[in-house]
Amino acid sequence: MEKRIFALVAISVIVLLVGIAVCSASQPTTTPPPPSTGKTVSGENVSALPKSSGITPTTDTKMVVIGGPLPELPEVDWLSMTPGSQLWTLYNGVWTKDNAALYAGDWTYLLLYNDHNQWISIYEVDPGGWKDWNPLGYRKAGYYYHQFDAEKVGWNRIYADGSSTGESNSVWIYVWPSTPPQPALTVNAWMGSSYYTIYPPSNVVYTYYTVNQPCHVRSTYLKQGGGMARCGPHYVSAGTHTDTGTIGPPRGMRTVVVDAWTSSGEYAYDVTSYNVG
């Protein structure tokens, strides 16, 4: 009876461990964070720092300069009497175990605490499940730098594996497409004056507008009684531009519609007005 109970307990533990392993390998369900600023804690560009294809020992001073205060190690495991190997990502100038993100083509530092003198490797699992093995040789206990190159768009899982202490924690880095998403097209229009006349020299109307990206723009002047005049369309760069025209009869309020569109199909417009006396 005792053997049977022991066997059931052992099976339960194995099932539990398998379940934990599966959960730890699944992708995060949270919304990916924004791409990193690419800066160290002191504001220096990470891209200007030296890269290393392998792993580089580091000192407390260097770690603080790059990512701020040293990460706190977890409590010592009561079986192995060590905290186990630990991994952090440099994200927005801070060492973190939380989710991070980069644009494709960028890179960042990984900080490894190797808790034993042992053979150590870094594994990178891309969004498609492909596991890239980076054997880093026999290393003494201590802190080391490694680098992560953002190549595959999506969630990437990185962890260390030691010959004595096994797998470290996993860090997740989301790789965004290299081209940042463009903001929606916007138009802001206004008149140079709220009142014009049909007599010189105050019969020259000025319409100003600002667009936030290169686009085609057209200004449409709607007169009383159904008359209409247009300026454009013409292609402009992002920024502020001016349309001018000469005013004629009739007198009264006129509406100006400034609309814009891009080759990708985005459309926006703004409306302003002025009075003719």
Residues 82 and 39 in one domain: yes
Decide which of 117, 148, 176 is a domain's last residue: 176
Decide which of 126, 144, 176 is a domain's last residue: 176
**pLDDT tens-digit profile, the chain (277 residues):** 444 433 433 434 333 333 333 334 578 888 899 999 888 888 888 888 877 667 788 877 788 888 888 777 766 555 555 568 899 999 999 999 999 999 999 999 999 999 889 999 999 999 999 999 999 899 999 899 889 999 999 999 999 999 998 999 999 999 999 876 678 999 999 999 989 888 887 788 899 999 999 999 999 998 877 788 888 899 999 999 999 888 888 888 899 999 999 988 899 999 999 998 8
In-domain check, residue 121: yes
Check residue 2 and give its pLDDT: 44
Check residue 25 and give its pLDDT: 54
For 7-16, letters b (16+ CB in 10 Å) and e give eeeeeeeeee
In-domain check, residue 224: yes
Residues 233 and 97 in one domain: no
In-domain check, residue 182: no
Cβ-proximal residues to 176 (8 Å cutoff; 6+ apart), any chain: 32, 35, 101, 102, 103, 104, 153
Total domain count, the chain: 2
Decide which of 142, 176, 210 is a domain's last residue: 176
Check residue 180 and give its pLDDT: 64
Check residue 237 and give its pLDDT: 93
Range of the domain at 89: 30-176
Residue with tokens 């720092």: 49
Residues 150 and 95 in one domain: yes
Check residue 5 and give its pLDDT: 38
In-domain check, residue 10: no
In-domain check, residue 165: yes
Residues 207 and 260 in one domain: yes
In-domain check, residue 136: yes
Residues 74 and 171 in one domain: yes
In-domain check, residue 88: yes
Q: Which residues pair with 138 in a beta bridge?
A: 119
In-domain check, residue 19: no
Residues 52 and 128 in one domain: yes
Check residue 9 and give its pLDDT: 38
